[in-house]
A and B are shown apart, each in its own frame.
Chain A
Amino acid sequence: MLVLCGLTSAVIYAGGYRVSLQGQRSLAMGHTGVALVNNAELAFFNPAGLVYLENKINVAVGASAVFSNVIWQNDEFGQMAETDNPVGTPFYAYFSYGVNDWLTLGLSAYTPYGSSVEWPDDWAGSHLVNNIDLQAIYIQPLASVKISEKISIGGGPIYVNGSVNFNRNLDRTLTDVEGNRANVTVDASGVSAWGWSLGGMYSPTENLRFGVNYRSEIIVEAEGGDADFENIPNSPATSFADTQFDAALPLPAELTVGASYRFDKWTVAVDYNRNYWDVYNSLDIDFADAGIPDSDNPRNYKNSSIYRFGLQYWANETFTLRAGYYFDESPVQSGYFAPETPRNDSNNFTGGLSININDRFAIDASFLYSRFDEIEETYNPDPETFPDYEGVPFGGTFKSSAFVPGLGLTIKI
């Protein structure tokens, strides 16, 4: 698990900076799973279900490769730009141990939030962002308890370790005498915070299950991070010197409800996510140096919903096939389309399969294709809501795409 942690680089592809890639079997079914009892991926989707797993020890590990890019153009001025995002590799590792008939304990690590966007330096929107890399690893001990034959609950505390690195130009024009654009990089790592999750599962019949899972909001507060100012003119009129900064970034709460039904070789699943993004009102960076004006970046996110559908077909002893679809509503409101998280609503198509090597080992593969319509949008915060924001509107046509293949391993002992 530690090795995997070192590899992690979570990448944006879902609404906001939520990265829904928490299990290959679930992802292949449209990232449903709150009411599915399949493998140890339950540790994320609904810990209440862990107690229903048949084997004593269950492990699921996996990682995805996120190929995601955004293009932008402005036909009024003939400008264009394209991100060159690094390939992201979000991962998960789940472990559960059946203590007895009614209690299962577990441990999980996963990366539900992250963002990595790299625009060309000094591009037309460089006063908003040149590049950003945001990572958060969740580590969670779990308990899953069967209350009755039909009802179980599960959950546990969440420890978050996060980091952020964000670079943008100070404005649209300031340069040093050599013509290099003045910019600032804020960097903080090893920032920790705590939260929790709790789920419940109800199985009225052997083939029908209902699930609910809630993961709490976690505010990651970076204190004393480094702010590095570059290419500042040597002038008393521009007194930007390297300093420290404080900033708070919310990882919003998520509520999931869903159901699954199995008949013969088929299983269908439906999930609904509610993401409480309205906590993300403004990204305010407070610089320690009193001479440097604080940087307020209005976001004004709204709560958003995701509708997920999944289908599984048990072909034979070796193969299980899966497909899914989900509609992902963007939390970004019109007029707040910041190129650091340039997301509009998306239609997402998933598929995948499991190959059972033997009774104990299975390989899980999945893919996700996110389809975005191109969208004409601006970043132009409402001066009545955000009177301190002084920037001018920035806009154009954006189009995103994401393609995410993933591989995982399921172990049952």
Chain B
Amino acid sequence: MKNYFRYIAVLALSIVSCEPEFEDPIDEEGFYSNGEADFSNYVALGNSLTAGFADNALYISGQENSYPNILAQQFAVVQDTEGFRQPLVNDNTGGLVLGGQTIPGFDTRLVLSFDADGSNPSPQNYRGAQPTTDVSTKLEGSFNNMGVPGAKSYQLAFPGYGDLSGLTTQPATANPYFVRFASSPQTTVVQDALAQEPTFFSLWIGNNDVLGFATSGGVGVDQTGTFTGANPIEYFSTYGPNDITDPNAFAAVYGQMVQDLSASASGGVLINIPDVASVPYFTTVPVNAIPLDSQTATALNAQFAAYNDQILPGLMGLGLLSAEEVQARRINFTEGQNFVTLRDESLTDISQIIQGAPFNLDAQTAGLLGQLRQATVGDLIPLTSSGFLGTTVGGDPMMINGVSVPLGDQHVLTTSEQEMIAAATQRYNETIAALAEANGLGLVDANATLSRLASEGISFDAGTVTADFVSGGAFSLDGIHLTPRGYAIIANGIIDEINDTYNSEVPKVNVGNYTTVTLSNDVQ
């Protein structure tokens, strides 16, 4: 029997050594390389795009697909890391509550719902569950993902931005997302990031410095040129929520943050600001959205005949309007698709004049005509206004919004407003590029990535990702924030830049494994 036992022993040994093993396993040190960067404690700073915000809400699966979390998972393949903690919300429903009530403006996530026959896709608020993320429930510990939805550049360095009591002041001085995980009421986002002694960082901030102005249809103030260099906190407290941040003020706060962050870290990347006008929020609703038959067009033209043929030439004759402005103000409808009508604040307000002689219009009509013009191809209509176009005022069939009743400022981002945004964005990006260069940091051109999505798209193993609303795959249902697939594309762009800057070999992710929009008919 001796032989037999010896045989059993050999068997047992063999079992132990028979697990399959690669000659060159990717999880072995040295397969990939971190190069000159140290990814062991990566901290991401930014706004909603960094937090993983999508579908107009923050929810767990969105956070799990945030680009910093995607990056952290790839870093962990390259190098032993200390993990990546995110301030996860409580559910996949989205929405924030305080004291049992949903906070106004922080509703549930959008999902794509269909009619029963599978037609007519439309984004709707998810109603399958109630929001359960109470912002007064403080999260313990520190978080590698310091993305705070809604934050503007200067707010990352704003004491009290995480103070619960600042949510109920008028105007609110705190941010409900940061309130959840700020280490103390008076801390700042940057302070909490620095306290973690990041070995590597990313910074993507500045989008909201123009986005609020854009999404509000330009109702805010362009603050460009107002910064004097005195006390920034006092200066910024004069800003309204929809203002464009002065590029000089942006440069001051951004430069300070970069200096603080790069002091101790082995490296980092700065991500520049995409052109907000290229996102589906502004490019989906056609500006010639009004279909008319020839009869209606004729009737409408008759309504505007006196305005076109008498009032406008009359005002020009009085020297009140230039020929150019008269041309811009003329209203003309034709059979087929028609450009919407709008009130353009940059036009001379003629509502008072035309109430007097010789025009003698009533106040209501004069109000409608005061800064009226028809849109041109350059104007943009926000996604949220699509449901408003073509509705009637008080059920009056002759008072059609966007036709006989001009759209208000908040429903159109005019070409002049777009120019203000573009000018500010360009200067922000110049600042970001200069700071990356000066500090030896990676510069990620997210602006180029998103414009490529909007133009030819970005191909992946199962097709092409584009910026088309719903079907393109890159943008979530709010038309501004990205889908997991969109964030994966951003992550790959960052990885490219990191590998370039720090001679590292971080593997990219397979974009096709990341999802796009979520379907649900639980919207009642």
Contacts and interface: CB of A to CB of B under 8 A. Distances in A.
Interface residues of B, number: 54
A77 B20 contact: no
A75 B507 CA distance: 7
Interface in A21-35: none
Interface in B149-169: none
Interface stretch (B11-19, B303-311, B395-403): B11-19
B3 interface: yes
A71 B19 CA distance: 9
A387 interface: no
A401 B507 contact: no
A389 B104 CA distance: 48
Given A70-B20, A177-B111, A374-B22, A237 B14 contact: no
A365 B8 CA distance: 10
Nearest to A372: B20
Interface in B96-135: 111-118, 121, 126, 128
A75 B26 contact: yes
**Most interface-central of A79, A172, A179, A400 (chain B CB within 10 A):** A179
B77 interface: yes
Nearest to B483: A173
Contacts of B419: none
B522 A177 contact: yes
B518 A369 contact: no
B243 to A, nearest CB: 36
A121 to B, nearest CB: 15
A17 interface: no
Nearest to A172: B513
A383 interface: no
A361 B333 CA distance: 102
A369 B31 CA distance: 29
A302 B61 CA distance: 43
A373 to B, nearest CB: 10
Interface in A195-231: none
A236 B117 contact: yes
Contact of B22 (A79, A172, A174, A397): A397
A319 interface: yes
B20 A401 contact: yes
A67 B15 contact: yes
Contacts of A75: 26, 31, 507
Interface in A377-413: 392-393, 397, 399-403, 405
Contact of A67 (B7, B18, B22, B510): B18
A402 B14 CA distance: 11
A177 B26 contact: no
B114 A235 contact: yes
A233 B25 CA distance: 37
B216 interface: no
Contacts of B115: 236
Nearest to B32: A78
Interface string B480-524: 000001000000000000000000001111101111101111100
A355 B4 contact: yes
A48 interface: no
Interface in A66-109: 67, 69-71, 73, 75-80
A387 to B, nearest CB: 17
B60 interface: yes
Contacts of B31: 75
Given A367-B14, A397-B22, A236 B126 contact: no
Contacts of B283: none
Contacts of A264: none
B27 interface: yes
A76 B521 CA distance: 38
Interface in B1-53: 1, 3-4, 7, 11, 14-15, 18-23, 25-27, 31-32
A236 B116 contact: yes
B518 A175 contact: yes
B234 interface: no
Nearest to A124: B513
A317 interface: no
B3 A173 contact: no
Nearest to B4: A355
Contacts of A359: none
B208 interface: no
Contacts of A401: 18-20
B223 to A, nearest CB: 40
B14 A71 contact: no
B92 interface: yes
A178 interface: yes
A374 B26 CA distance: 14
B462 interface: yes
A409 to B, nearest CB: 15
B519 A238 contact: yes
B12 to A, nearest CB: 9
A176 B25 CA distance: 34
Contacts of A397: 22
Interface string A321-338: 000000000000000000
B74 interface: yes
A80 B18 contact: no
A235 B519 contact: yes
**Most interface-central of B3, B519, B520, B521 (chain A CB within 10 A):** B519
Nearest to A69: B20
A77 B64 CA distance: 18
A171 to B, nearest CB: 9
Interface string A231-272: 001111111000000000000000000000000000000000
Contacts of A117: none
Contacts of B4: 353, 355, 365
B66 to A, nearest CB: 13
A241 to B, nearest CB: 14
**Most interface-central of B26, B116, B506, B512 (chain A CB within 10 A):** B26
Nearest to A238: B519
B461 interface: yes
A238 B509 CA distance: 27
Contact of B518 (A77, A233, A372): A233
B513 A78 contact: no
Contacts of A355: 1, 4
Nearest to A399: B20
15 contacts: A75-B31, A75-B507, A78-B26, A78-B77, A177-B128, A177-B520, A233-B518, A236-B117, A319-B3, A353-B4, A367-B14, A374-B22, A392-B461, A392-B462, A397-B22
Given A78-B26, A80-B27, 16 more contacts: A71-B20, A76-B507, A77-B507, A78-B78, A172-B513, A177-B92, A177-B128, A235-B113, A235-B114, A237-B112, A319-B3, A367-B14, A372-B20, A400-B20, A403-B14, A405-B11
Interface of B: 1, 3-4, 7, 11, 14-15, 18-23, 25-27, 31-32, 60-61, 64, 74, 77-78, 92, 111-118, 121, 126, 128, 461-462, 485, 506-510, 512-516, 518-522
